[in-house]
Amino acid sequence: MLDRCANRLHHDVVMLTPEPACLVIADISGYTRYLAGAELDHAQDILADLMSTVVTSLRPTFRLAKLEGDAAFVYQMTSEIDGPHLQDVIERCYFAFQRRLRDVRQASSCECNACTLVPSLDLKFIAHHGQVIRQRIASSEELLGSDVIVAHRLLKTSVREATGIAAYALYTEGCVAAMGLTDPHAAGMVEYRTALDGVGEIASWVVDLRAAWTMELARSRVVVDADGALRVYEATLDAPPAVVWEYVTSPALRPKWQLGVEAVLQAEGPAGRRGIGTVNHCMHGKDAIIEEVLDWEPNDHVTYRSLLPTPGVPKLVNTFAFEDLGDGRTRMTATFARPRSAEERAIAEGLGPMLDDIVRHGLSALVALLAEASASVASADEHPAEPALPPSRNRNVSEPVPRSR
């Protein structure tokens, strides 16, 4: 009996130890004003729909700590942040939110105020890094600490008035430091400072998400399909697309499974990001494959153009595409394009056996690595269940509904 009590006391002490965490709040802007002019029942259903979109887009990188009306508070326990990945997750969430707004408005035949005013809604994010205490109460968990308070108070500051940016991601100085981002200006971020009572001045950096969405809508896709491909490889992986994406694109994780890759060094590209225009040097001993990113859509596909360290060999273009199987698994397809000219096609065909060996070995290693990681997470996960998402009556379908007579 005493041993059980001692173990429980030890567990409580551990849980009350401050830990480093990345804290993110996704807040639906304009909801109070929207609610004042909308039918309550339908407006609440739309909110449930949108909050589900937001939280689902932030998983599995983040866990849901709490739903706070028209905001979702999520977190990840970590001392260091993969800055490009964090920005991708937040940007992808914003894109998913905008697509859902568009679908709700275009697919609905309802002319109530709740539906017609949907385009007035928007989304903003606060990203902060600091120390938190995880307090477990029965089957739930609550995050405590001054950094939790700071993150929430930053929701009420005058970012829009000071910067002119309405839909934004605000990264605090603490978050930027944990991201290892040394020059936020070069990364296209706008500096914002504000004073919080009892805290002092908080320096932050702001990214315009609406501008990013406009660019996303305008850009063209570069995807290699199976028609006339040089080679096509498939693998089913025991992890959701967001996890597979990180293993396939992270410079720190790629050497763990790609055959012969000792390091992936970013040589060129957007500051503080990975994406279109990034140039990597994939180091194979003293040799390097020069790899340029032609297309980048997180969790969906990435397309590379690679120059091998062999004279006379044409550049190879390939796409990794990720299909969500809906059961926690992902089907990944690696498709290599056939060069256009007859001479380059003949050379590329000669590379076929080498490609088969490299890619199949890599995919086999990735399958095993993700299966091991999935089993490790399942056995080590002591988190209580996340809060339930608000139920939706599925009134906001994704296909047009004809108006009944």
Taking 90 as the threshold, does the pLDDT of residue 400 lie above it?
no
- Whether residue 405 lies inside any domain: the answer is no
Mention every residue, 6+ apart, whose C-beta is less than 8 A from residue 93.
Answer: 26, 54, 57, 58, 123, 125
pTM of the model as a whole: 0.88
CB 231 within 8 A of CB 335: yes
Torsion, CA 70, CA 74, CA 80, CA 81, rounded to 10: -50
Residues 372 and 321 occupy one common structural domain? yes
**How many Å apart are CA 42 and CA 115, to the nearest integer?**
8
Q: What is the pLDDT of residue 228?
A: 85
Query: Does residue 398 form part of some domain?
Result: no
Q: pLDDT per residue over 109-118, tens digit each?
A: 666 776 777 7
Determine the pLDDT at residue 139: 74
Which pLDDT does position 8 carry in this prediction? 44
Same domain assignment for residues 201 and 328: no
Domain annotation covers residue 403: no
CATH of the domain at 311: 3.30.530.20
Q: Read off the CATH number of the domain in which 202 is found.
A: 3.30.70.1230
246 shares a domain with 148: no
Q: In this structure, are residues 311 and 332 in contact, taking their beta carbons and an 8 Å threshold?
A: no
d(CA 164, CA 153): 20
Whether 42 maps to a domain, the answer reads yes
Percent of the chain residues topping a pLDDT of 70: 88
Establish if 385 belongs to a structural domain.
Answer: no
The answer to whether residues 143 and 245 belong to one domain is no
What is d(CA 52, CA 29) in angstroms, rounded to the nearest whole number?
16
Give counts: helices (H), strands (E), the chain: 12, 15
Q: What range defines the domain where residue 312 resides?
A: 221-380
- Whether residue 3 has pLDDT greater than 50: no
Integer Cα distance of 186 and 182 in angstroms: 9
pLDDT at residue number 13: 41
> Which value, to the nearest 10 degrees, does the dihedral of the CA atoms of residues 132, 136, 141, 142 take?
-40
Q: Of 104, 187, 161, nearest to 171 (Cα)?
A: 187
**pLDDT digit string (tens) for 181-233?**
999 999 999 999 999 998 899 999 999 999 999 999 999 999 999 998 999 99
Give me the half-sphere count of Cα atoms (radius 13 Å) on the Cβ side of residue 299. Answer: 23
pLDDT at 398 over 50: no
Tell me: do 73 and 202 sit in the same domain: yes
Q: What is the mean pLDDT of residues 229-250?
A: 96
Q: Which residue, among 326, 345, 128, has the nearest Cα to 229 in the 3D structure?
A: 345
pLDDT of residue 389: 85
Show which of 185, 201, 216 is a domain's final residue: 216
- 228 and 182 within one domain: no
**pLDDT band at residue 136 using 50, 70 and 90 as cut-offs:** confident
Judge if 201 and 234 occupy the same domain.
Answer: no
In a domain, 73, yes or no: yes
Please tell me whether residues 86 and 211 are part of one structural domain. Answer: yes
- If asked whether residues 302 and 266 sit together in one domain, one would say yes
Tokens 């909050």 belong to residue: 51
**183 and 73 assigned to the same domain:** yes
- Convert 34-45 to b/e letters by CB count within 10 Å (16 or more is b): bbeebeeebbbb
Looking at the DSSP bridge assignments, the partners of residue 91 are none
Give the pLDDT of residue 392: 67
Angle at 356 between CA 252 and CA 268, to 5 degrees: 35
- Nearest residue to 241 via CA among 297, 170, 186: 297
119 and 247 together in one domain: no
pLDDT score at 360: 96
Asked if omega into 60 is within 30° of 0 (cis), the reply is yes
pLDDT reported for residue 402:
37
Please indicate, yes or no, if residue 397 is contained in any of the structural domains: no
Asked whether residue 197 falls in the same domain as residue 229, the answer is no
216, 248, 278: which is the final residue of a domain? Answer: 216
Number of folded domains that form the chain: 2
